[in-house]
Structure 1
Amino acid sequence: MKDDDIERIEKIRCMLNNALNMSLSSEMLLKISRKLDVKIVDYYKKRVFIQKSQK
């Protein structure tokens, strides 16, 4: 079973890909890309916290 965070990241990545294929404005692409970046950073921060707490 996939992690909810990974599923969200994949959905946003698909949204970004679809937006690119639809030739949306650079502003919209940047907005989606930033949201994806935030989710990825949050995911890795959470993973690092979990790994440190397990030691």
Structure 2
Amino acid sequence: MKNKIFHTQEWRIIMNILTYIAIAIGGFVAIGSTLSITLGIFGTIIYKIIRSAKYKISLFD
């Protein structure tokens, strides 16, 4: 009986650790995608402003 209880507690600890690892991986993926979208938007805006100043093209083209 004691061995079964220990196994259950051990299983809970392992699952708890795996859950935290999955949460961390998901968080890093979310942060990465948010940063890439944000940097892409700012990069596009800066590119359009430079292109507009250099070639006298509208920002909306």
Do the two structures share a fold, i.e. TM-score over 0.5? yes
Is structure 2 residue 30 aligned with structure 1 residue 50? no
What is the root-mean-square deviation in Å for CA atoms of aligned residues?
1.8
Which structure has more RCO (C-alpha within 8 Å, separation ≥ 6)?
1
Aligned partners of 2:16 and 2:39: how far apart in 1? 35
Gaps of 5+ in 1: 1-22
Distance 2:11 2:28 in 1: 25
Unmatched segments (≥5 aa) in structure 2: 1-6, 41-61
Match of 1:27 among 1, 4, 12: 12
Alpha-carbon separation, structure 1, partners of 2:35 and 2:15 = 30
Give how far 1:40 is off.
0.3
Q: Cα deviations across residues 6-32 of structure 1 (Å, max 9, x unaligned)?
A: xxxxxxxxxxxxxxxxx8711100000
Distance 2:32 2:13 in 1: 29
Q: Which has the larger radius of gyration?
A: 2
Q: Sequence identity of aligned pairs in percent?
A: 6
